[in-house]
A and B are shown apart, each in its own frame.
Chain A
Amino acid sequence: MPSSHQRAVRTLAGLCLRLATGWWRSVVPLAASCGLLATVIGGSVGVGDAIVDNLVRRAAARLGGVLAAVTSERPFAADLAVRIDAVPAFVSPVSIEATGAARRATRATLLGIEDCGSLGFPGAAPKLDRDSVAVNGPLARDLGVAVGDTVVLRVLERSAIPSDSPLGRRVTGSLGRRVKVVAMLDDSGLGGFSLEPSQSDEPLAIVSLATAQEIVRKPGMANTAVAVDRPPEDVGVRGRGQRAERSREAARRLDHAVRPTLRDLGLSLEIVRGDLARLASESLVVPPEADRAAEAVLSPLGGSPAMLFLANAIAVADGEETDGAAGASVPYSTVAGIAAAETPFGRLLGIDGGPLRLPGPGEIVIDAWMADDLAKQGRPVGPGSRLAVTFFLPETLHGRAIEASRTFSISGIARMEEAAVERSLVPEVEGITDKRSIDDWDPPFPFDASRVRSTPPHDEDDRYWKDHGATPKAFVSIDDARAIAAGRFGRTTTWHFRLPAGGSIEDVRGRLESEIDPAAMGFAVRPVLADGLAAARGSTPFAGLFMALSSFVVVAGLTLVWLLSRLLVTTRLAVAGTLAAVGWPPARLAAVFGGVGGLAAAAGCLAGAAIGPAWASVLLAVLARGFAGVENAASPAIFQPTSPRVATILAVAGGSFLLAVIAPWLAARRVSRLGVRQLMAGADSAAWSARRSGRLVAVLSAVAIIAALAVVATAGPVSQEAGRFFAAGALALLGGCGLVRGWLRPGAVRSGAGLVHRALSLHPARTLAVIAMVAVAEFLIVAVSSFAVQPPANPADRQGPAGGWTLMATLAEPCAADLADPATLESLGLSPDERDALRRATLLPIRVSRGEDASCLNLQKVKVPAVLGVGRAFRERGGFRFVAQRASDGSASWQLLGRRMGGSDGPIPAVMDEATARYALGLSGVGDRMSVTDDRGKQVELEIVGLLAPGILQGSVIVAEEDFLSIFPSTTGFRLLLAAVPGGPEEVARTEAAIRAAVADFIPTIRSCTSRLAALAAVQNTYLAGFQALGTLGLLLGTIGVAAVQARAVLERAGEIGLLTAIGFTPSRLGRLVASETLVMVGLGLVLGTLAAAIAVWPQLAAGRASLAVGWALAGGFGTIAAALAAGGIVVGRLASVRPAEAIRAPE
């Protein structure tokens, strides 16, 4: 005998350990089931941990040493970055084309940086000269280029004037540069650089700052400044927390330090002559924030604003308004709105030399030249005469300039002196004010050159241009001018003022620069590292997600633990009896049995928690496989298993133990309550079963099933849908189990079926536990599989997930060109075939704010969701399917947009995909509100008026275009284009090529709507695959349960079996009986699980958002039956070894 056994057990714990060792046949299965429980929990936690870890690591890695960044839509002097101790850079979308035989082109991010090493990435930085570029792996793969190849970089040529205004250019062309690939960037280092919290591997090209400046033709400029602090080599979790704080500190420092000059802000402040100075903007209209600052700084100096607009024609109105074309008129004149009769640039003087008063509302002062000109045209005018002024509205409609007119009454004629000849009233407009002759104009708006008199002897307009340039020919009140020309881009074109005595222009410049809030002028300071880490940490709560779905498996696992705990105790009641007889008090008795169970649970949970990371790896592999190849989805690197943390393993083990130990503790507590004689007699476990009233169980079961049906029949917020699913499923399962419990009552034995029923009824709780485990697993598999997303049967169906759209083009740069306008198509240089293809298609542009994709493709926490502004045409066309909408006025779903409840101050109506609302934004449904930050930094409230079924618009918040412009007034153009193409794949391909050609300068990404849906479906189905894996694990638990029960049954019924054998039951007949018991248990579980799943997903089935997964149900069923029969086979094998004589003598 081993000496170790001579060491006496001296403590309760020692006795528990000794008993646990001795009872290993019971303890090991119990520990294994606890281990499975811990594995499931540990796997769920591990998935969440790994994804968050990878996202956090990636968030830190993609920034190198960058802590914070200043970015601006408008380039600023690179010196600004140097002044604030930051690194200047140019970051821009770029289209890159390989020049080889394939001539492939792709979209990437262009980074222009003087010294690649200055960003603090580890490793050697490439040296870049003016004709070289370094590319990262994704870009090299997209283009198929290698070091030594040549590529062409193209960026959009931006117009300073907003493209949505008539004087802004809708089609500008692109600027290109041929460069040579000199280096491949390390994707885990500099090659992964991105200021945005990207989760996918984005293509990146790096050139020198000088090259970037040359490409965009902005020498000495940058659009980004980054604060860099080289991180230590190995940054742990704590280190990352400290760096996040440093990031916020750096952002605060930058925010405090950044003081862009007026030039950086696109403003010019200059001496016109003498002490007369002017403030103007390169975007033609002074932006609202600069206008506010000018009001504050220049008004006290006597400064005066002016608002100019272009009058396409000023015509004599014969008592009624005319279009100005038929009668005497002057074409293409500027009209100035002024705020005072006496301005810093002089007065308006009448013909007699006396000062003219400020034009009142509806009044106009024309200069003497115009008066003379009209007189020469035979229509002399004077005070009181009416003039029709024709002009463009301040904003184009999808790229089309809209003309309007208004009639004014002449209040005076100004002689050509002082204010009337003030050229500086007109800011410089590229293509107009820089032309020597009006014949040379190259305006972006529809320009009728035939109306311009430029040929002698009638070259009046050209002579005026040569003498006075664009100097206004007429003056109105600034209020009238603003009513005509002011808009979201501003309401002032120039400010004039006279320098105070002793003052300098630099003083005023400094005061203006101090007054202007850079943030309101498009300068954004962001703690990019802290933001990235926060977005990563707040990613989709995978741990919670998997835990929620694992909860059913956990319940099944707990049932198995309970079952095995009971078996452990019931088979040792005689031992308990002996202990009780020799004086073990009940509490001590419970402690020893609880201790044995606890040891099993502890060992199992610890082992299971240690195996948890392996299970997490399986789930992660499922996720990685699902996400692989999905465009814009997370990089597979996000799903890499990470080193398990000891603390997490211990926490999982502890948590699992607390759950698992309940069952053995309850079993031990129960045993301690039995009498000594009962225990010594090895009381039948039937004595354990509390005697429940059969009628009560039936009533409670019926109530549970009715409650389940009521839950699914009750409409509620979308956010509670998951809760309703779980509640209905749990209630249906409970009710079903209750009914089965009612059936498990011993009855008369008249047949083989009766024998089976009696055997199952002998230990009803045990039988019910197995049925419940199988039912739960089957429920999980069938219910989850029912949500599998299928491709739409008819992609052209307007009510389908594609809304009837065929293609969607997202543009890296906003485009204001109207692709439905024939003239625009002509100007784009398209081929006739391409123009025809675009004409045949239905094209709808959609405005898009700067924001994040809130679809399921994005794993990170969405801080600012992208907002789509859909125009009237989109809303009238309709499409997509609403699953919920505000029903207050019975309006058609899309017509709810643009109609604010509670007047103009009410929340802005918004529509979004239900998955976006529920998962990404955490909204409960229709009527719920959220806020977005507008261009002025103010919070604007949106209210959900409709929820869409999952579709191509997932991930965005959709509002009416007019509301969009009120929130984001500085946004120009559209960045999403939807196309409906009539015809087959060839026509679709032609249209796609035509769109690509038309918007090539705006760096498009074009994809079919079906591929977008496929990407979304792939991700959703990937989650489902993970949950199906959980269901499979549940079935495994159920099968173990069946095996355990059947094995125990043989031991318990050895006497009965021996008797049956003795009286002539053949082994095969006995085998069939046992197999029948197995089949009945498993079959009942499968039926119960499938029915419960059908009830739980009924709302989705009825709404057509799910289809009962009959295939999965059958596959799961057959799989379980096969596994259970295999377990039964082992049992039957044991039966064959039972000799009748032995069995009959068996004590139990």
Chain B
Amino acid sequence: MLEVDAVTKWFDTPAGRLTVLREVSFAVPAGRRLVVMGPSGSGKSTLLSIVGAIDAPSSGSVRLDGESVLKGSAEEQAIYRNRNVGFVFQEHRLLDACTALDNVLVPVLAASSASRDDVARARELLERVGLGSRLGHFPSQLSGGERQRVAVARAIMLRPRLVVADEPTGQLDAATARDLSGILAELSAEGQCRLVAVTHSDAVAGSLVADGRGEVARLVDGRLAIG
């Protein structure tokens, strides 16, 4: 279970304190998805950063299977993210100098060298996202949708307990977006992984919860309303 409890986040600015999230709470059981929608500036990305252990809340707590994700040093948090969280960003954020296969293996290299099994899994994931013939291609040689599929494969590579997706289809056309959403939903469903995604697109949100294993929530003025 991913448990987000009364998370509040504010920033001190020259103009005064800016509160982005207010008492946000929700829970995502294993194998389930939460899609967060909301207007620009509503705090969606901030919420994802906190859930993904990139940022810390000003108050409140985030627990994954009972364990707080917000404790420990930067080193420990990095290790936590590496083992438990997969990220899909709005921009693909692939390493331009690396091939699709290399990019999928990047999370592995954060801790150690990649084994043959790791390489085999990376190949399998790329095949599953339809890029089995593009393993050696560089990001610059892939389309936007293909890059995001590589990013999805990278997020799933280490079988995380949580996948965080920030506008994963934001720069894709509708058909490609639907396609990618399906892949994301399918892959995240494996291994009882939770998925927390942010999107502006009702279609994407619908496709992510279409199988009945997810919910849609709306974030307005820093407050989250589920359903």
A586 to B55, CA, bound (A): 15
The verdict on B102 contacting chain A, using a C-beta distance below 8 Å, is yes
A8-B99, A577-B93 given; name 17 further pairs at CB < 8 Å.
Answer: A4-B136, A5-B136, A6-B136, A9-B98, A10-B114, A12-B113, A18-B102, A19-B95, A22-B138, A578-B93, A579-B110, A580-B78, A582-B81, A583-B81, A588-B110, A677-B49, A680-B93
Tell which of A1, A11, A12, A21 has the most Cβ of chain B within 10 Å. A1
Q: Interface size (A, Cβ < 8 Å)? A: 34
Question: Which residues does chain B contribute within 8 Å of A574, judged by CB atoms?
Answer: 93
- A selection of 17 A-B contacts at a CB cut-off of 8 Å is A1-B141, A5-B138, A8-B101, A8-B119, A10-B115, A11-B109, A574-B93, A578-B95, A581-B89, A582-B81, A582-B154, A583-B80, A584-B82, A585-B79, A585-B82, A586-B78, A587-B75
The verdict on A23 contacting chain B, using a C-beta distance below 8 Å, is yes
Question: Which residues does chain B contribute within 8 Å of A680, judged by CB atoms?
Answer: 54, 93
The verdict on B97 contacting chain A, using a C-beta distance below 8 Å, is yes
Contact status A9-B102, CB under 8 Å: yes
Question: Which residues does chain A contribute within 8 Å of B138, judged by CB atoms?
Answer: 5, 22
The verdict on B137 contacting chain A, using a C-beta distance below 8 Å, is yes
Chain A residue with Cβ nearest B92: A578
A583 to B80, CA, bound (A): 7
Tell me the residues in window 64-93 of chain B with beta carbons closer than 8 Å to chain A beta carbons. 74-75, 78-83, 85-87, 89, 93
Question: Which residues does chain A contribute within 8 Å of B95, judged by CB atoms?
Answer: 19, 22, 575, 578
Chain A residue with Cβ nearest B86: A582
Given the interface pairs A6-B135, A8-B122, A9-B102, the reply to whether A583 lies near B107 with Cβ below 8 Å is yes
Chain A residue with Cβ nearest B81: A583
The verdict on A315 contacting chain B, using a C-beta distance below 8 Å, is no
Q: Closest CB-CB distance, B190 to chain A, in whole Å?
A: 19
Question: Which residues does chain A contribute within 8 Å of B137, judged by CB atoms?
Answer: 1, 5
Q: Closest CB-CB distance, A1130 to chain B, in whole Å?
A: 24
Contact status A3-B110, CB under 8 Å: no
Contact status A22-B119, CB under 8 Å: no
The verdict on B145 contacting chain A, using a C-beta distance below 8 Å, is no
Contact status A8-B79, CB under 8 Å: no
Q: Which of A2, A575, A588, A677 contacts B55 (CB 8 A)?
A: A677
Question: Which residues does chain A contribute within 8 Å of B96, judged by CB atoms?
Answer: 22
Interface flags, B45-64, vs A, CB<8A=1, else 0 = 00001001011000000000
Tell me the residues in window 1-33 of chain A with beta carbons closer than 8 Å to chain B beta carbons. 1-6, 8-12, 15, 18-19, 21-23
Given the interface pairs A6-B99, A583-B83, A586-B74, the reply to whether A12 lies near B55 with Cβ below 8 Å is no
The verdict on A676 contacting chain B, using a C-beta distance below 8 Å, is yes
Q: Closest CB-CB distance, A30 to chain B, in whole Å?
A: 15
Question: Which residues does chain B contribute within 8 Å of A15, judged by CB atoms?
Answer: 98, 102, 106, 109
Chain B residue with Cβ nearest A592: B109
Q: Closest CB-CB distance, A582 to chain B, in whole Å?
A: 5
Contact status B110-A582, CB under 8 Å: yes
A581 to B85, CA, bound (A): 9
The verdict on B105 contacting chain A, using a C-beta distance below 8 Å, is yes
Tell me the residues in window 553-608 of chain A with beta carbons closer than 8 Å to chain B beta carbons. 574-575, 577-588
Chain A residue with Cβ nearest B140: A22
Q: Closest CB-CB distance, A599 to chain B, in whole Å?
A: 12
Question: Which residues does chain A contribute within 8 Å of B113, judged by CB atoms?
Answer: 10-12
Q: Closest CB-CB distance, A1126 to chain B, in whole Å?
A: 31
Question: Which residues does chain B contribute within 8 Å of A677, judged by CB atoms?
Answer: 49, 54-55
Contact status A19-B97, CB under 8 Å: yes
Given the interface pairs A579-B110, A583-B85, the reply to whether A18 lies near B98 with Cβ below 8 Å is yes
Question: Which residues does chain B contribute within 8 Å of A12, judged by CB atoms?
Answer: 109, 113
Contact status A585-B54, CB under 8 Å: no
Tell which of A6, A18, A583, A588 has the most Cβ of chain B within 10 Å. A583
Interface flags, A888-917, vs B, CB<8A=1, else 0 = 000000000000000000000000000000
Contact status B78-A584, CB under 8 Å: yes
In order of increasing CB-CB distance, the 10 nearest A-B pairs are: A22-B97, A583-B82, A5-B136, A6-B136, A10-B114, A583-B81, A585-B78, A584-B110, A578-B93, A9-B102
Q: Closest CB-CB distance, A1147 to chain B, in whole Å?
A: 10
Given the interface pairs A8-B114, A585-B78, A586-B75, the reply to whether A21 lies near B109 with Cβ below 8 Å is no
Question: Which residues does chain B contribute within 8 Å of A9, judged by CB atoms?
Answer: 98-99, 102, 105, 109, 114
Contact status A583-B102, CB under 8 Å: no
Given the interface pairs A15-B102, A586-B75, the reply to whether A2 lies near B109 with Cβ below 8 Å is no
Question: Which residues does chain B contribute within 8 Å of A588, judged by CB atoms?
Answer: 78, 110-111
Contact status A23-B75, CB under 8 Å: no
Question: Which residues does chain A contribute within 8 Å of B135, judged by CB atoms?
Answer: 6
Question: Which residues does chain B contribute within 8 Å of A587, judged by CB atoms?
Answer: 75
Question: Which residues does chain B contribute within 8 Å of A18, judged by CB atoms?
Answer: 97-98, 102
Chain B residue with Cβ nearest A10: B114
A585 to B75, CA, bound (A): 5
A11 to B105, CA, bound (A): 10
A269 to B179, CA, bound (A): 122
Contact status A21-B114, CB under 8 Å: no
Question: Which residues does chain B contribute within 8 Å of A11, judged by CB atoms?
Answer: 109, 113-114
Chain A residue with Cβ nearest B118: A10
Question: Which residues does chain B contribute within 8 Å of A19, judged by CB atoms?
Answer: 95, 97-98
Q: Closest CB-CB distance, A575 to chain B, in whole Å?
A: 6
Tell which of B87, B106, B137, B141 has the most Cβ of chain A within 10 Å. B106
Contact status B97-A23, CB under 8 Å: yes
A22 to B137, CA, bound (A): 13
Chain A residue with Cβ nearest B83: A583
A574 to B86, CA, bound (A): 17
Q: Which of B81, B83, B136, B154 contacts A3 (CB 8 A)?
A: B136
Contact status B136-A1, CB under 8 Å: yes
Question: Which residues does chain A contribute within 8 Å of B101, judged by CB atoms?
Answer: 6, 8
Q: Which of A1, A578, A583 contacts B79 (CB 8 A)?
A: A583
Q: Closest CB-CB distance, B225 to chain A, in whole Å?
A: 26
A527 to B86, CA, bound (A): 78
Q: Closest CB-CB distance, B117 to chain A, in whole Å?
A: 11
Q: Closest CB-CB distance, B29 to chain A, in whole Å?
A: 23
Contact status A582-B87, CB under 8 Å: yes
Tell me the residues in window 1024-1068 of chain A with beta carbons closer than 8 Å to chain B beta carbons. none
Q: Closest CB-CB distance, B99 to chain A, in whole Å?
A: 5
Interface flags, B131-172, vs A, CB<8A=1, else 0 = 000111110010000000000001100000000000000000
Question: Which residues does chain B contribute within 8 Å of A581, judged by CB atoms?
Answer: 52, 54, 81, 87, 89, 93
